[in-house]
Amino acid sequence: MPAIKSNQNCTEELSRAPAGPLVSVVIPVYNVEKYIEQALQSVLTQSYRNLEIIVVDDQSPDNSIALVEHLVARTQETRVQIVRQQNRGLAGARNSGIRAATGDFVAFLDSDDFWQADKIEQHMKLMLA
């Protein structure tokens, strides 16, 4: 039976890897202009950096996508991709995000939630242990 790796060993493995496996973060967006900036900012500031961020516009009638575009332009962030689709609901938006994803792993963030700064790093430690 293989030995269980400690968190320290996992951290060392992640830091030795060129960038670690690519994680695709899918954020479905519909009527969340009050929350989307905090949600997106919580992904952009993750301690684990090898991310692609797929924001799925589910034809939101509010300013949610305009806020995303403004944040991306202001930060000159290159990891964010906006996928536009007809309104298909949460499941349809997640499926569109999965189709656009190129990562080794996929993570979902609801656009009215936010993550702690080390969320992806902690998940990757567990998945690579």
Within a domain: residue 56? yes
Q: Is residue 13 part of a domain?
A: no
Domain membership flag for residue 63: yes
Looking up residue 61, the CATH number of its domain turns out to be: 3.90.550.10
End-to-end CA distance of the chain: 14
Q: Does the residue 79 lie in any domain? A: yes
Number of domains in the chain: 1
- Half-sphere exposure of residue 51: CA atoms within 13 angstroms, side-chain side: 25
**For 16-71, what is each residue's pLDDT tens digit?**
444 799 999 999 999 999 999 999 999 999 999 999 999 999 999 999 999 999 99
Structural domain containing residue 107: 23-128
**CA contacts within 13 A on the Cβ side of 103:** 23
Domain-embedded: residue 113: yes
**Does residue 16 belong to any structural domain of this protein?**
no
- Specify the pLDDT at position 19: 79
Rounded Cα distance, 82 and 40, in Å: 12
Unique residue bearing structure tokens 């964010």: 80
- How far apart, in whole angstroms, are the C-alpha atoms of residue 6 and residue 35? 36
pTM for the model stands at 0.85
